[in-house]
């Protein structure tokens, strides 16, 4: 079956890989859409990120949806023909962190398309995928496969929102308006934020975050003074969703945070960055990391399936899988793309 495979150091190929066997409790899903994530782009452009490097050919992709083609005899919760979002997170359920309810920190995590473990975990960018029935969230037939593939990044942001505490009537700053930042705007609006300000260095993504609920969008590369104005009186914002992983963005944002504000760090840097610790101390800021998700994937599927969150403004373009290289090139152009998908049809 066709799969999108990254070869070290960073060569992307569409090639055949063997079909997978289906076991008890499993289903076979015909993958219909796969969203290209920032980590996929890091593998494509740089062969990895931080200390993580692709050491052997690996199928990419962890944002996927499709239709169930076959089920094992013992599977009852999912049926042939169901349209599903596929949860890429496969914790062991037995290590100490899983038993403590921290499955996103599983010591034996098998997360699709990840070069972090060795051997690498093969991803979901393939014609068919065999997975556990419990990884499938059923969705209505009128929701597109591209929308369903957004369940994974939405789950990431929902987990971050849980880290932030209640957003009701809070003033929220979002730095970095890529897909995760755009979803942070949508989630903050859904959860009752009083005011949402989003920043980016480019104007094009800011147009999309306005459509998703940002009250104000600031292009900091040309108008840094607009963000600096929020620093008056020791700061304005109650919550920061930092989605860029950029040191300059972090340094510009902290003066705008009011004392005892919460910073939720979602953005991952390509290398370690210097963090302004003195500002954290002086303002008694609460700094929280946010990594992947746990049960939030199911909620993401419900919010998208019901269109209580309409995320269609994020969808840029879908490419056939045979044009995977062109799709990855397009996904890397932030001026023209927010979310690019591959179609497996």
| pLDDT of 135 | 98
Q: Are residues 72 and 144 in the same domain?
A: yes
Q: Is pLDDT at 270 greater than 80 in this prediction?
A: no
Q: Are residues 110 and 37 in the same domain?
A: yes
Q: CA dihedral in degrees (289, 293, 259, 186; nearest 10)?
A: 130
300 in a domain, yes or no? no
Report how many domains make up the chain.
2
Q: Which of 169-173, 197-201, 271-275 is predicted least confidently?
A: 271-275
59 in a domain, yes or no? yes
Q: CATH number of the domain at 71, please.
A: 3.90.180.10
CB 110 within 8 A of CB 117: yes
| pLDDT of 272 | 80
Q: Are residues 53 and 192 in the same domain?
A: no
296 in a domain, yes or no? no
299 in a domain, yes or no? no
304 in a domain, yes or no? no
What's the rounded mean pLDDT across residues 259-272? Answer: 90
Task: Give the residue among 305, 230, 295, 292 at the shortest CA–CA distance from 261.
Answer: 230
Mean model confidence pLDDT for the chain: 96
301 in a domain, yes or no? no
Q: Are residues 190 and 278 in the same domain?
A: yes
Task: Give the residue among 27, 28, 4, 307 at the shortest CA–CA distance from 150.
Answer: 307
Q: Are residues 17 and 99 in the same domain?
A: yes
Q: Which residues pair with 26 in a beta bridge?
A: 132
Q: Are residues 119 and 162 in the same domain?
A: no
Residue 277 contacts by C-beta under 8 Å, 6 or more apart in sequence?
A: none
Q: What is the pLDDT of residues 228-239, one digit of tens each?
A: 999 999 999 999
295 in a domain, yes or no? no
80 in a domain, yes or no? yes
Q: What is the pLDDT of residues 188-203, one digit of tens each?
A: 999 999 999 999 999 9
What phi and psi values does residue 6 have, to the nearest 5 degrees? Answer: -95, 130
The residue segments making up the domain with residue 8 are 2-150+311-343
Q: What is the pLDDT of residues 29-55, one digit of tens each?
A: 999 999 999 999 999 999 988 888 999
Q: Are residues 86 and 11 in the same domain?
A: yes
Q: Are residues 127 and 243 in the same domain?
A: no
| pLDDT of 51 | 84
């Amino acid at each position: 079956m066709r799969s999108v495979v990254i070869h070290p150091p960073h060569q992307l190929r569409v090639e055949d890989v063997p079909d997978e066997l289906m076991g008890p409790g499993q289903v076979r899903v015909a993958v219909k859409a796969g969203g290209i994530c920032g980590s996929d782009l890091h593998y494509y452009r740089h062969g990895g990120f931080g200390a993580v490097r692709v050491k052997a050919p690996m199928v990419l992709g962890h944002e996927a949806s499709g239709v169930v083609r076959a089920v094992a005899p013992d599977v009852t919760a999912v049926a042939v023909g169901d349209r599903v979002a596929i949860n890429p997170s496969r914790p062991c359920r037995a290590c100490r962190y899983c038993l403590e309810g921290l499955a996103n920190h599983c010591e034996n995590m098998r997360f699709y398309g990840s070069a972090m473990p060795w051997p690498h975990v093969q991803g979901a960018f393939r014609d068919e995928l065999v997975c556990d029935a419990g990884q499938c969230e059923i969705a209505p037939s009128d929701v597109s496969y591209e929308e369903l593939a957004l369940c994974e990044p939405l789950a990431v942001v929902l987990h971050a929102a849980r880290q932030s505490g209640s957003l009701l009537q809070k003033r929220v700053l979002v730095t970095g308006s890529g897909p995760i930042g755009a979803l942070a705007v949508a989630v903050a609006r859904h959860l009752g934020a009083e005011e949402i300000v989003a920043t980016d260095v480019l104007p094009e993504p800011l147009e999309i975050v306005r459509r998703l609920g940002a009250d104000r969008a600031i292009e900091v590369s040309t108008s840094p003074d607009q963000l600096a104005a929020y620093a008056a009186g020791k700061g304005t914002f109650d919550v920061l969703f930092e989605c860029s992983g950029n040191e300059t963005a972090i340094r510009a944002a902290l003066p705008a945070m009011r004392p005892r504000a919460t910073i939720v760090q979602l953005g991952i840097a390509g290398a370690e960055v210097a963090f302004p610790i003195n500002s954290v101390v002086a303002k008694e800021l609460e700094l929280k990391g946010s990594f992947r998700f746990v049960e939030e994937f199911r909620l993401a599927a419900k919010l998208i399936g019901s269109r209580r969150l309409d995320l269609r403004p994020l969808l840029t373009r879908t490419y056939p899988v045979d044009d995977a290289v062109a799709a990855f090139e397009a996904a890397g152009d932030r001026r023209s793309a927010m979310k690019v998908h591959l179609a497996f049809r």
